[in-house]
Structure formats: structure tokens, C-alpha cells
Structure 1
């Protein structure tokens, strides 16, 4: 779990709920989206700081920091690992950032085009996952609540037609298992579950998942037959005394 307050990362045992701080972070930083690779490297989306950071999940040591943009109007929100890059969304700019994995290399800025229309002064691109064939990306646009299939070569974004529900308003974290796409809709306190067609042009609603313990969940990860979600509690006072938790529900 990442902290918006200081960029710290907290690691929890799913069996016991016990945990501790893995990465201390620093004042003025944030850790929003997180992804762990098979080599134990943890990629962190840096929010309003406009950064991507890479942390060794075994030692908690910061290995690399990439300044993705110098814009003051930025919110680097989520990250997915695909091939030789980590791809990150920017909720305030119509661009994806491709951070090299492994030894060095330059950050790639990929402007979003095609059907993508950036809405000013609200969160746009948010959660991100790879397509089932591993050749493209799926991005959720939180406002007004749309899904897009993005070509990672050109940045062309094609709107995915939704069947069975008008939108995915407040869409936040995405999780894909095969051709099943889970969309965490934070302030709706639900997960909508979709069937993707083979070409990722349409998504058909299968069902929704909700739980009275949800308190503005923002992202989901899967282990076994359960989904684990983080409650961001955006509707609660954000003070040093505010408590936070995770919730597990059947997948």
C-alpha cells in the first residue's frame, strides 16, 4: 500500500493482516499506483510530484527516480509493466510515460490521440492494464467514466463500447484476468466486472461487486480466489490519526 502523504510503502501479510513500512518515503512525495516485477523491483507512481520511482522490495532501498514531467499540473497515477517498460498514466495530462526497465534508457512520452479528449481540471487517465494479447494498453478515464484501448506505438486511443452499464464513472484501479476486466469505481464503492471481446472494442458488464466495508476503494489486486482492495477514505478527514485498511472480497 502506498501513502499519498509522504510516499511511504507499507507491506501487509494477507494471512494475518500484520505488516510494517517497507519504504520510508520522504516529505513532499507520494506513492499512488504500485507494481512489483518478478525481480523484486517495485515501481511507484509519484502523483503530483510527476515522478516514477523504483524501489528494491527486499531491502526497501530506492534504486532510481525518474522525473517524468516538470509541469505543475500533473498527477502521475498508476503503473503497469509491459515488456521492457513500465507505463504510467498522468491524470492531468493526455500522455502516458514509458519508463525503461533494466539498465538505463530514456523515458518515452506517448501523447494520447484518436478518440481521447482531455477534460480540464478533473482526473482523466487513471488505472492502466495491458490488453489480453500484450500488445496494447487499456486505460480508464475517470471523468466521465470511459475505457480506452491504446496503441503503444502511436498513442492512438480508441474508446471501448460499454454494454450493460452506461459508464465507469470514478473508474480508478484496473485489474485484468484473461478477458475479464475489473474496474474499481472508487466513490461508487463498487467493482464492475466486464467481458472484453477479442479485439478489445467492446466490454460487456457481467456483474458488480460491493461490500459494506468499502470506503472509497481505489485499487485491487488478486491472490487466489480473492480480490484485495485499499480503502482510500477520501470522504473522511485525512489526518495523522485517520486509520486505513484493506478489504478482501471473493473474485
Structure 2
């Protein structure tokens, strides 16, 4: 009986998942919580950013991007939307973007002057926005106090560990004075200790999170909860984080969320009530080609 109950509990997220379709020809990688039941999602193909109310399923456009622009990972904080601007080999240019949430107007577009750059994801705190570069193995640290000036410092991650022909540094969140950082190729996470000269520590063995892509954090007493989108595995995994007196970070697996509506989820956004992830279909939909009429992309929403 206990095994049956445990099995049914593990399936509950399947029953609670709902689906919100994207507008036609929109393909999404980045999703972020905005406020209340509103979540932002970003179109890779145009750079436009949309707002979805997961309670009413209403979708509106928050940012109409200029031509030849893309938005990969995104984050929302204090009236600003931060977008990672792509780059080689898939997108036209690599930029760090900042938009005004209320108006959708551009605050800054900060270029990364390296033809091999791939700006993939972003997280912001009170003072800085941190953008990952997946190909060059870097984190770009953009000063918010200096905006619209582009004042950027670079955090160089260990080489050759974080230099890849495909993708290394990807999703990131702030955690206890540092950054939890996904390494997509290795399928694990690292901690970049900003309070200790950017020291990098590996948290789990390689392969612990196959297909690890974007992530989000739910900060709780007794141990924050980390949610990781594992794209090719078609699931969201949940982990409990901890930190010792030596600032060594640990992660313990708790559970996974899945749904038949998943299709290569690239990231996840979490609140106390919702877990939201996109269906990108990168495994079946060619980025350079129109999205087939028989393919519906959208947001998968779990009620916690």
C-alpha cells in the first residue's frame, strides 16, 4: 500500500499541468516570473517578449524588439526586463539587453565584441545583472547603477572546463552571495562564490542532471529549493540546497515534475503557487525553418 501511495504522489504533477499556447511562429527558450500570476516568456525568433497570466491564460506582448534581435534567457526585477541576446553560431549578434517593464522600451543594448560569444541566460540582483556566455565560458557582470551606460566586468570561469563547442555555462540563479550555475555539457551544477574571489566549486558529479539547462530557485528556511529544467529528459527536477560553514554547497534530489505536454523544456520559473516551463521542441523544430502548422508550442504550468 505504501508503494502505491508513493507512486500516485509522484504522478500528481501530471494531473495538475495545464498548457498555454504561444502566439503563432513563436519559439521560446526563456521564461521568468513577473508579478502575481504573470510570467514573461521570450521569442527566440524575433526577440519579442510576452506576458502570460497563468490564471486567466491571457497572453499580451510586453516588448516589441527591433529587427534582427533575439531573446534567449530572461529575468524580471524592479521594473526591468533583462534578456540574454544570443550570438554565434545561431543568432545575429551577442548583446546584453535591458528593457523597461512598463513601457517595453529599450534601456540598454550592450554588445559583446567577440564573434564566438553566445549570451545564453541572465539573473539580476540589486546592483548587477549577470549574463552567461556558453561558448566562451564567462559571466558578464553588468552594472545597473551605470545604465544606460554599458559598464561590464567579466568573470572568467575555469578553462578548459567551461569552454565548449556546444554549451557549457547556461542557466544561473543567485544563492548566498554567489551564483548557482548549470554546466549543460557535463549535466551538473557549480557554485561561483562571488564573496570569495569568484572561486568555483562543483556541487554534484557529472551526469547528475542530464540535459540541465535553465533553472530557478524557491528560497525557504531550512534549505532553498532548486528547480532544474532537464531538456532532453523532458522533466523538471527539484533539489534541496544547503551550505556549510566552509561555504561548500550541497544539493539533494527531492522529486521530478513531468507532463505529456513537455517538449524539450529549456528553463523553469517558480513561485510559491506555480512552476512554469516552455515547450521549445528544439529536438524536432528547426530554428531556421517555419514552425509546422501541426506543432503547438506553449507554456506548461503546474499548480504547486
Q: Same fold (TM over 0.5)?
A: yes
Q: Identify which of structures 1 and 2 has the higher relative contact order when contacts are C-alpha pairs closer than 8 Å and 6+ apart.
A: 2
Partner of 2:72: 32
> What is the CA distance between 1:201 and its match in structure 2?
2.6
CA distance in 2, matches of 1:2, 1:157: 30
Partner of 2:132: 89
- Which of 160, 163, 167 is the equivalent residue of 1:123? 167
The answer on whether the counterparts of 1:8 and 1:21 sit within 8 Å (CA) in structure 2 is yes
The answer on whether the counterparts of 1:41 and 1:55 sit within 8 Å (CA) in structure 2 is yes
Q: Deviations over 1:138-169 (max 9, x none)?
A: 1000012111000225332110035xx94212
Which moves more between the two structures, 237-246 or 14-23?
237-246
Q: Deviations over 1:184-210 (max 9, x none)?
A: 111110111111222353211111111
Tell me which structure has the larger Cα radius of gyration. Answer: 2
Which moves more between the two structures, 146-155 or 167-176?
146-155
CA distance in 1, matches of 2:107, 2:135: 27
Partner of 1:205: 253
Partner of 1:78: 121
Partner of 1:186: 231
Change over 3 Å in CA distance of 1:136–1:14 after alignment to 2: same
CA distance in 1, matches of 2:158, 2:198: 6
CA distance in 2, matches of 1:83, 1:20: 27
The TM-score, its normalising length taken from structure 2, stands at: 0.75
The answer on whether the counterparts of 1:161 and 1:201 sit within 8 Å (CA) in structure 2 is no
CA distance in 1, matches of 2:242, 2:100: 37
Partner of 1:174: 215
- 1:249 is aligned to 2:302: yes
CA distance in 2, matches of 1:166, 1:204: 14
Change over 3 Å in CA distance of 1:60–1:83 after alignment to 2: closer
> What is the CA distance between 1:220 and its match in structure 2?
1.3
CA distance in 2, matches of 1:57, 1:236: 32
The answer on whether the counterparts of 1:113 and 1:156 sit within 8 Å (CA) in structure 2 is no
Partner of 2:44: 4
> What is the CA distance between 1:124 and its match in structure 2?
0.4
> What is the CA distance between 1:54 and its match in structure 2?
0.9
Instruction: Mark the runs of 5 or more structure 2 residues left unpaired by the alignment.
Output: 1-40, 88-92
- Which of 177, 186, 196 is the equivalent residue of 1:144? 186
Change over 3 Å in CA distance of 1:156–1:113 after alignment to 2: farther
Instruction: Mark the runs of 5 or more structure 1 residues left unpaired by the alignment.
Output: none
> What is the CA distance between 1:119 and its match in structure 2?
4.5
The TM-score, its normalising length taken from structure 1, stands at: 0.90
- Which of 65, 87, 112 is the equivalent residue of 2:109? 65
The CA RMSD over aligned residues, in Å, is 2.0
For the residue of structure 1 that corresponds to 2:86, the secondary structure is coil
> What is the CA distance between 1:88 and its match in structure 2?
0.8
The answer on whether the counterparts of 1:91 and 1:123 sit within 8 Å (CA) in structure 2 is yes
The answer on whether the counterparts of 1:113 and 1:155 sit within 8 Å (CA) in structure 2 is no
Partner of 1:236: 284
